Amino acid sequence: MEKLEQFLGGILELNPNIDIELIERAYRKAEQMHEGQLRKSGEPYLIHPVEVARILADLGMDENAIIAGLLHDAVEDTPYSQRDLLRDFGAEVALLVDGVTKLGSLVIESKEERQAENLRKMFLAMSKDIRVLIIKLADRLHNLRTINYMNDDQIIEKCKETLEIYAPLASRLGIYAMKFELEDIALKHLDPEVYSELDAQVSSRRDERERGIRLVIDEIRGNLGELDIEFEITGRSKHFYSIYRKMKYQNKHLEEIFDLTAVRVIVDTVRDCYAVLGAVHTMWRPLPGRFKDYIAMPKPNLYQSLHTTVLSDSGEPFEIQIRTKAMHRIAEYGIAAHWKYKEGVDLGQEEVKLAWLRQTLEWQNDMNDPREFVETLKMDLFSNQVFVFTPKGDVIELPAGSTPLDFAFKIHSGVGAKCVGAKVNGKMVPIDYVLKHGEIVDIITSSNSKGPSIDWLKIAKSSNARSKIRQWLKKENRTGSLERGRDLLERAVRRKGLEPQSVIKPQWVARAAKHMNLATAEELYNAICHGGVMLSKAVAALSSIYEEESQSAAKKLEREIEREDAAARRQRENRRKERDDVCVEGVDNLLIRLARCCNPVPGDGITGFITKGRGVTVHRADCPNVLSVMEEERGRIIEVSWAKSEQGKPYDVDAAVFADDRKGLLSDISRVCEDMDAHITGVSAKSANDGMVNILMTFTIENTGQMENVLRALKGVSGVAEVHRSSM
* Positions marked catalytic: 76-77
Residue 387: name the closest of 402, 377, 397, 379 by CA.
397
Q: What share of residues in the chain are helix, strand, coil (percent, to 5)?
A: 55, 15, 30
Taking the C-alpha atoms of residue 402 and residue 466, their distance in angstroms, rounded to an integer, is: 11
10 Å Cβ neighbour count for 142?
19
Torsion of CA 502, 505, 511, 514, to 10 degrees: 120
Query: By three-state DSSP, how is residue 351 classified?
Result: coil
Taking the C-alpha atoms of residue 703 and residue 647, their distance in angstroms, rounded to an integer, is: 7
Contacts of 244 (CB under 8 A, 6+ apart): 187, 191, 194, 195, 198
b/e map of 497-512 (b: 16 or more CB within 10 Å)? ebebeebbeeebbbbb
Taking the C-alpha atoms of residue 94 and residue 88, their distance in angstroms, rounded to an integer, is: 9
Q: Would you tell me the crossing angle of helices 131-145 and 152-161 to the nearest 10 degrees?
A: 150
Chain-centroid distance, C-alpha 582 = 53
Taking the C-alpha atoms of residue 77 and residue 74, their distance in angstroms, rounded to an integer, is: 5
10 Å Cβ neighbour count for 61?
26
Residue 234 DSSP symbol: E
Query: HSE (CB half, 13 Å, CA atoms) of 539?
Result: 20
Taking the C-alpha atoms of residue 528 and residue 513, their distance in angstroms, rounded to an integer, is: 11
User: Do the strands 679-687 and 385-389 form a parallel or antiparallel pair, or are they unpaired?
Assistant: unpaired
